[in-house]
Chains A and B, each alone.
Chain A
Amino acid sequence: MTTTTDTAAAPLVALTDVSKSYGNVRALRDVSLEVHAGEITCVLGDNGAGKSTLIKIISGLHPHDSGSYAVAGEQVRHASPRDALDRGIATVYQDLAVVPLMPVWRNFFLGSEPTKGRGPLRRLDVATMRGTTRAALLRMGIDLRDVDQPIGTLSGGERQCVAIARAVHFGARVLVLDEPTAALGVKQSGMVLKYVAAARDAGLGVVLITHNPHHAFLVGDRFVLLKRGTMSGSHFKEDITLDELTREMAGGSELDELTHELSRAPAAGAPAAGDTPAADLPAQDPPAATDPETRA
């Protein structure tokens, strides 16, 4: 693995004890993480754990309520995504990645369009936009015949890759990805993870949000675990195995219980079926109260 920094320079992004509430919903409480150049920091957690909230703070979509946020050692408070972009933090959102009806090349340059000419004749440099889009995608291994097709016609994986290629092209120093593999099949997930690794090898610091520990473990250097808005763990790759990560993410002992329950369910259910009609139900119900042993 690339172990470039740690001691030398300040981390690209450092959050310390950051909290955020939506009205009376405490979405995030005292969460800390670091992102270093050439490394991937994975944020893991279940649905509703606060992963998206965390990256919305990093990317400037929401300000944090308390705690500190430093970019390359400098304390910041982003007022808009533009601020974060100007500091080199590019984000690929789960739900806000692209404008589906616009051609690929227009999406690629959206918000940072190159122009030529002056005054009223100032216009988009369309040839450059098309050519650069094609070249930048090709460099990441995506060969589109037609950069004029609406980006909505690409597959989910391809769309994520375009968004990643875009961030790399615009010289982002930090790339934030919100569940880039969430809606994808195995092959497409592999493709996306490959480009995430390519971005890391290009020297970017990457924040990868996911609820899939297998994906995280494949590429991650650091792992931050979130659980109901709080940080339930923070590890280096060297210090943890995939099994431990999976266990911890699912909540350790809770997972044990579940494994136990699931492996026993068919065996326990079979003899019970004959007893009473109602005895069918417990086997399918959640653990605790209906556990056969507590009844016995």
Chain B
Amino acid sequence: MSDLAAVADERLAPRSTARRLLGRPELGAVVGAVAVFVFFAFAADPFLQWSSFGTVLYASSTIGIMAVPVALLMIGGEFDLSAGVMVTSSALVSSMFSFQMTANVWVGVGVSLLVTLALGAFNGIMLVRTKLPSFIITLGTFLMLTGLNLGLTKLISGTVATKSIGDMEGFPAAHDLFASHWTVGSVDLQVTIAWWLGLVAVATWVLLRTRAGNWIFAAGGNAGAARAVGVPVARTKVGLYMAVAFCAWISGQHLLFSFDVVQSGEGVGNEFLYIIAAVIGGCLMTGGYGSAVGSAVGAFIFGMTSKGIVYAQWNPDWFKFFLGAMLLLATLLNAWVRKRAEATA
């Protein structure tokens, strides 16, 4: 017994604080965020003004709200390519149901929540039933929703946009909840920033301090092992898709109540921005590793880059280049982390 303990000891040198830090999924993203911040601080004068800060945070939050559940889903080992258009679907359902069926926007908001959660459940149940890759399932949902968004909107409204619901009952309150903003000093803060930070906090709590969080990591890290010790892997995955749907509902309501009309073709391509934010934030594409805070840092990098390029008065084409380069760097870093973490003696 004692000699075995000694063998174990000499092999397991205590991990220094630096090594511990290096093991955090967010590390790469934080380093990247600092670099991007310093870069634009020099390259674009208006970038350091407080008013710009509010703008950057707003841009970050619109991606960040969705990046949170997409990161959880990725930790759970799956993708959702329908997340971008689902936001639009959610906004369209809310708007059109309110307009066609009632005079109160809250009814539409409620119906939209149910419909969007059902879409998430559909993705999840299809995945666990068919055992097909989530890439295929959600690609199918993505295409179907893209078509439905355009087709149904034209059929019901006659145009590609919905009718304005700005004068309907309940609009001001719903606007306050989903699309209001406050001015603090010279900084204009959108309510989405609060939603975003709240979601990050809740997701972090769930991931690190609840059974569900343990199951999410296990479902993505080794689904077979998880199932073998009694983890409800299928239920966990369906739950994750419904979390994506819930956040798509929040984003969709923001979209609706900040403009009061919805363009039915919107949202296509955003699913990749969410995934990119999650990956830059340290989520492994293969699952089992990542964090909600990382996804927030990834979304913040997105916000800084998209607005920084505007403040620097560059051609916005460069934005995609930056995003691509950062994605590659982050993925390389992640691969290295995984190799370290999975290395066996």
Contact = CB atoms under 8 A, between A and B. Distances in A.
A81 B342 contact: no
Contacts of B11: 155
A263 interface: no
B211 A124 contact: yes
A101 B338 contact: yes
A143 B8 contact: yes
B64 to A, nearest CB: 23
A112 B229 contact: yes
Interface in B161-216: 205, 209-211, 213-214
B228 interface: yes
B345 to A, nearest CB: 4
Interface stretch (B219-227, B268-276, B296-304): B219-227
Interface stretch (A66-74, A90-98, A285-293): A90-98
B341 A152 contact: yes
Contact of A141 (B4, B228, B341): B4
A148 B23 CA distance: 11
Contacts of A150: 23, 341-342
A102 B218 contact: yes
A101 B341 contact: yes
A61 B15 contact: no
A115 B211 contact: yes
B9, B14, B214, B229 pick with most chain A CB within 10 angstroms: B229
B12 A146 contact: yes
Nearest to B4: A141
Chain B's interface size range is 35 or more
B142 interface: no
A187 to B, nearest CB: 8
Chain A's interface size range is 35 or more
Describe B's contact surface by its main secondary structure. Answer: helix
A81 to B, nearest CB: 5
B1, B2, B4, B11 pick with most chain A CB within 10 angstroms: B4
B240 interface: no
A54 to B, nearest CB: 16
Given A111-B231, A146-B12, A102 B345 contact: no
A123 B209 contact: yes
Contacts of B338: 101
Contact of B5 (A93, A110, A124, A141): A141
Given A99-B288, A110-B214, A145-B9, A85 B209 contact: no
B228 A91 contact: yes
A83 to B, nearest CB: 9
Contacts of A138: 5
Contacts of A155: 11, 344-345
A158 B8 contact: yes
Contact of A101 (B12, B227, B288): B288
A101 B211 CA distance: 17
B217 interface: yes
B214 A145 contact: no
Given A95-B224, A141-B1, A154 B345 contact: yes
Nearest to B221: A99
Contact of A143 (B5, B210, B214, B288): B5
A144 B341 contact: no
Contact of B341 (A80, A123, A153): A153
Minimum-distance CB pairs A-B, first 7: A111-B229, A155-B345, A99-B221, A111-B230, A143-B5, A141-B1, A99-B222
Interface of B: 1-2, 4-5, 8-9, 11-12, 14-15, 23, 205, 209-211, 213-214, 217-218, 221-222, 224-231, 284, 288-289, 338, 341-345
17 contacts: A61-B228, A85-B229, A93-B228, A96-B222, A97-B225, A98-B222, A99-B218, A99-B226, A101-B289, A110-B214, A111-B226, A115-B211, A123-B209, A144-B12, A146-B14, A155-B344, A158-B345
